Amino acid sequence: MCLLNSDSPNLPTPLLLQSVAALAEDGDRVVLGPAEDGGYYVVGMKAPHTHLFEDVAWSTNAVAEQTRQRARDLGLPLVELNTWYDVDDAATVSPRHPHHTRC
């Protein structure tokens, strides 16, 4: 299962393919695609691990790090993808934002 954010409009397909490939390998793990602002654009897992989402300071720059710590607490291997951005304000939605050319 992969959970995707709704505010990375030009998330590159190869990042999603990397998520799927990592989850297809044998053994349990967590896949995390960190966002530049400290959150994440994707989190994937092979089995339900609700502890990953407990006591997280949502909508802060600590979300990805707290998720990493939860994975460590559970003894789950963590596959971390390249960092991407998400749209949080006018600057990141602007066509002049540097990521708009990275599609």
DSSP SS3 for 68: helix
- The pTM assigned to this predicted structure is 0.86
Other CB atoms within 10 Å distance of the CB of residue 82:
10
Q: Does the pLDDT at position 10 exceed 90? A: no
Domains annotated on the chain, with CATH: 2-101 (3.90.550.10)
pLDDT in tens, 84-98: 988 876 665 655 556
H helix and E strand count, the chain: 3, 4
DSSP 65: H
User: With contact defined as beta carbons under 8 Å apart, do 99 and 83 qualify?
Assistant: no
Please give the Cα distance from 76 to 86 (Å, whole number).
Answer: 26
The pLDDT, as a whole number, for residue 9 is 84
Q: Which residues contact 78 (CB under 8 A, 6 or more apart)?
A: 29, 30, 31, 32, 68, 71, 72
Q: What average pLDDT score do residues 26-53 get? A: 95
